[in-house]
Amino acid sequence: MDKAPRVQEKSLHERILGDIEGRILSGEWAPGHRIPFEHELTQEYACSRMTVNKAMGELVKRGLIERRRRSGSFVTQPHAQSAVLEIHDIQREVQALGLKYLYRLDNRQLRKATADDRRLLEIKPNAPVLSLLCRHYAADVPFCLEERIINVATVPEASDADFSEVGPGSWLLKMVPWSAAEHRIRAVAADKSVAEALAIPTGSACLVIERRTWNGQNYITHVTVTYPGDRHELVAQFMPSQQM
């Protein structure tokens, strides 16, 4: 079959996807509505079933429809919001703000895992961990405080790195592949030591991001990053999925 190659047009499956998504988001097709069968769309768009199927598969991934064999495809009920939160490397983050970046290592300690370490990294007693305390500065003002433990068994090279020049976050990102991370985000009042480290009043509101990174077998590292609340903000963009 010949096709008219028109310039600068969306591909057909994108157009089908967009049409249906538009009808759902506009409310024209309410939750529960059965959308046309693949073979009907095949006729409507004068294309093969594979092309329709690709669009439908994407709608499923975006959570807009559910498909049931023998029944058809149905607009889903409104779902919980999920947002994509981008958590950047701190150095990049500061430099993206156009500010001078400075890193400083305050403490470095190679030791046996404490009870806390064991809980955070889920490792055995006496397993070696590298404990780091460091600060990141933006324009010579403390930007955030980083408290990190590294599971040395999973990153043996870490025990040789001194982290006096390069932050452990950037170093790990380059050295270690990881496959999953858990984040916890909360607000806390700065205690005395945090307040001193960040040069803010004791009791100030701080945004704390806790992150634990997993390589598929073990936890690699646990980090707590504390930002002065009035100087930092996390931005998350909801997207149905990835754009096509």
Asked whether position 34 contacts a copy of itself by CB under 8 A, the answer is no
Residue 173 binds a copy of itself (CB under 8 A): yes
Tell me the Cα Rg of the chain: 25
Say which residues have a Cβ less than 8 Å from residue 207's Cβ, sequence separation at least 6.
185, 186, 187, 226, 227, 229, 232, 233, 234
Q: Give the binding range for a copy of itself (CB under 8 A) out of 34-42, 123-131, 157-165, 170-178.
A: 170-178
Residue 183: φ, ψ to 5°: -120, 145
Nearest to 222 by CA among 125, 153, 87, 129: 129
Taking CB within 5 to 8 Å according to partner kind, which of a copy of itself, DNA, none is near residue 48? DNA
- Choose one: 5-13, 75-83, 122-130, 215-223; the region binding DNA (CB under 7 A): 5-13
Q: Is 73 in the site for DNA (CB under 7 A)?
A: yes
Q: Binding of DNA at residue 241 (CB under 7 A)? A: no
CB-CB contact of 20 with 35 (8 Å): yes
| CA–CA separation, 121 and 113 (whole Å) | 9
Residue of 139, 180, 191, 199 interacting with a copy of itself (CB under 8 A) = 180
Q: Which is nearer to a copy of itself, 36 or 240 (CB)?
A: 240
CA distance 199 to 94: 18
| Tokens 């046996």 belong to residue | 112
Tell which one of 27, 30, 44, 50 touches DNA (CB under 7 A). 50
CB of 88 to DNA, least distance (A): 26
33 belongs to the binding site for DNA (CB under 7 A): no
Under the criterion CB under 7 A, does residue 37 sit at the interface with DNA?
yes
**Nearer of residues 58 and 117 to DNA, judged by Cβ:** 58
* Contact of 67 with 60, CB cutoff 8 Å: yes
Strands 205-214 and 128-138: unpaired
Residues in the interface with DNA (CB under 7 A) total 28
Closer by beta carbon to a copy of itself, 61 or else 100: 61
Query: Does 114 participate in binding a copy of itself (rule CB under 8 A)?
Result: no
Q: Report the candidate in 177, 183, 15 with the shortest Cα–Cα distance to residue 85.
A: 183
CB of residue 4 to a copy of itself, shortest distance in Å: 19
* Dihedral angle sign, alpha carbons of residues 56, 57, 58, 62: positive
Residue ranges that bind DNA, judged by CB under 7 A:
1, 3, 5, 11-14, 37-39, 46-51, 53-54, 56-57, 60, 67-73
